[in-house]
């Protein structure tokens, strides 16, 4: 899913802080045992999420789309001492795996995994968010954004994954056909870019990360 050549990605990883033993295991087991393993954030993106979290020392993090827990563990590395991370996963079959991995982190007491529909769950979480990571079904990205923006503190971050959608966001310009997920990502990117409540930076990291800051 990387946008840059494999050789450059390997060089970048070799000159980036390594994954922890647990993250390496999650990475390995996700690719060996779970469908659609490319949904995992992976080494470079995981270290970027960790760095951004450490820079702002969030008290409250919301993750929409847990998958196997890799990105949540990376984000939790920056949590304040009294911080909490809430992460929502729609696939209930992932819960045992997520819980098992979370139990092995030194932040386990600060992690709040939730199984359910994020659109229904988010309004029940009466929190002010310092950091939100959106990495779930692409069709609802705009809905998730609308749900969380009012609850993000001024200066807080929203990070959205897969905003380049394997390069499909530019294929329409060549007259190629689209699909609902591509259309949803295009609409989301444009929506955020035009929203005066936020500032945004689209980074071509892996499959594209949109870094959004509440004004």
Tokens representing residue 161 in the block: 């994954």
Across the chain, mean pLDDT equals 94
What's the angle, vertex CA 202, arms to CA 24 and CA 147, rounded to 5? 85
69-79 mean pLDDT: 98
Query: Is the per-residue pLDDT at 43 higher than 60?
Result: yes
Give the pTM: 0.94
Tokens representing residue 120 in the block: 């229904």
How does pLDDT run across 167-178, given as a tens digit for each residue? 888 876 554 556
If you write DSSP's letter for every residue of 85-109 in order, what string do you get? EEEEES-GGGHHHHHHHHTTSTTGG
How does pLDDT run across 130-167, given as a tens digit for each residue? 999 999 999 999 999 999 999 999 999 999 999 999 88
**13, 38, 56, 200 from 1: Cα distances, Å:** 15, 7, 28, 22
- What's the pLDDT at 206? 87
How does pLDDT run across 94-140, given as a tens digit for each residue? 999 999 999 999 999 999 999 999 999 999 999 999 999 999 999 99
Burial of 143 (0-12, 13-18, 19+ CB in 10 A): middle
Q: Residue 27: which residues within 8 A CB-CB, separation 6 or more? A: 19, 40, 42, 43, 70
The answer to whether the beta carbons of residues 135 and 65 sit under 8 Å apart is yes
Give all domains of the chain, ordered by start, each with its CATH number. Answer: 6-214 (3.40.50.150)
- Residue 65: closest CA among 156, 206, 160, 183: 160
d(CA 133, CA 81): 20
Query: Is the per-residue pLDDT at 3 higher than 80?
Result: no
């Amino acid at each position: 899913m990387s946008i840059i050549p494999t050789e450059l990605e390997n060089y970048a990883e070799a000159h980036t802080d390594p994954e922890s033993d647990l993250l390496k295991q999650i990475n390995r087991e996700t690719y060996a045992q779970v469908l659609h393993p490319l949904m995992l954030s992976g080494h470079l993106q995981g270290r970027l999420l960790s760095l951004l979290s450490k820079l702002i020392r969030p008290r409250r993090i919301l993750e929409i789309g847990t998958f196997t827990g890799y990105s949540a563990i990376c984000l939790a590395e920056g949590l304040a001492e009294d911080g909490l991370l809430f992460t929502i996963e729609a696939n209930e079959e992932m819960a045992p795996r997520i819980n098992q991995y979370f139990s092995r982190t030194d932040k386990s007491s600060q992690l709040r995994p939730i199984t359910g529909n994020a659109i229904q769950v988010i309004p029940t979480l009466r929190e002010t968010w310092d950091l939100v990571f959106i990495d779930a079904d692409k069709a609802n990205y705009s809905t998730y954004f609308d749900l969380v923006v009012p609850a993000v503190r001024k200066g807080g971050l929203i990070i959205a994954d897969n905003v380049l959608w394997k390069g499909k966001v530019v294929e329409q310009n060549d007259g190629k056909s689209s699909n609902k997920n591509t259309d949803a990502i295009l609409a989301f990117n444009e929506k955020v870019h035009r929203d005066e409540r936020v500032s945004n930076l689209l980074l071509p990291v892996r499959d594209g990360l949109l870094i959004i800051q509440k004004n």
